[in-house]
Amino acid sequence: MSNVLVAGGAGFIGSNYLRTALDQGGGDFFVCADKLTYAGSMENVRDLMDHARFAFAQADICDGAAMAALLKQYDIDTVINFAAQTHVDRSIATPDVFFHTNVIGAQTLMETARRYWFDKPDARFIQISTDEVYGALPETGRFTEASPLMPRNPYAASKAAADLAALSYHHTYGFPAIITRSGNNYGPYQHPEKFIPRMILCALENEPLPVYGDGLHVRDWLHVTDHCAAIEAVRRRGQAGQVYNIGADNEQTNLDVARTILSALGKPETLIRHVDDRPGHDRRYALNSGKITSQLQWSPRTAFAEAIADTIRWYRENPAWRRKMTFREE
């Protein structure tokens, strides 16, 4: 049995991960620690609050004393760090917030765990990262775990810095850090500021769908349940000091995704509005997931056409959640 601290567990991917892990049964206990900023919400984990193997604590990963108290109280042997500022547009406007949370917060959490785990040889720390740390790709090719880090916006740079900190802790202290890097996620509970939920919500309200530039930016869209299954594979079988790419082999342009959403809702493509591109907008991301597939026996199982329809249905059927998340402030 394992006691797992899920930092940032009230956010989009973290809350979906908690459902995945708890649904699997077994004796593992999960502690969700979240600062509850605008993107993390009790609405995302409310259905888990009465689960016998779940506990919640409002806490900031930048607060070493709070993290140390949680590690001690629950005898934590595994940390999964989802906690991060993640929206590129916000990172361009307020980069200091991103570097504070994503770098200082991650390092504080690592240092706290390192000091607590002196007698836990089987402990592990999973740092959840992003394909954006690699920079942009041309029209062909995919990033591997050996690709150089070339981040091109403040968000990506902050995540790359945290990745390097994790690897430095492993090499210097023998700290049991593992890094995962995924493509763009989509699915239920994703904050409305992100591309797919924003397109869905605009379409539902018959409002213009704002698409940056020509809309031909390519992303490898990964359903959140596939991502969560990959993280579980890493938690159970991953090796310390390793990096694992998690891709879906599902490249779509932003314009095609917007058109798919409109078609599913029976809305006209005339709702698409091309807007000025954002600074430093990377043209294409794609990941080679051969390592996690061959070593940890994980592969994506979700078909995009079916999963995007399910995602649209979820947002349509949860208007109360939509209203609460859309109008929340930091």
Is there a contact between 3 and 76 (Cβ–Cβ < 8 Å)?
yes
Decide: residue 172, CB within 10 A, 0-12 exposed, 13-18 middle, 19+ buried: exposed
Whose CA is closest to 14, among 151, 187, 247? 187
Question: Pseudo-torsion of CA 298, 260, 252, 83, nearest 10°?
Answer: -60
Is there a contact between 22 and 48 (Cβ–Cβ < 8 Å)?
yes
The catalytic residue among 60, 77, 132, 226 is: 132
Is position 131 annotated as part of the catalytic site?
A: yes
User: Tokens in use for 188?
Assistant: 């239920």
User: Tokens in use for 70?
Assistant: 């949680």
Is position 220 annotated as part of the catalytic site?
A: no
The catalytic residue among 77, 131, 163, 226 is: 131
Whose CA is closest to 8, among 42, 28, 32? 32
Max Cα separation, the chain?
62
Tell me the HSE value of 234 on the side-chain side, using a 13 A CA sphere. 33
Residue 305 to residue 292: CA distance in whole angstroms: 24
The catalytic residue among 116, 134, 155, 186 is: 155
Residue 22 to residue 232: CA distance in whole angstroms: 11
Of how many residues is the chain composed?
330
Is position 132 annotated as part of the catalytic site?
A: yes
Catalytic residue numbers, as ranges:
131-132, 155
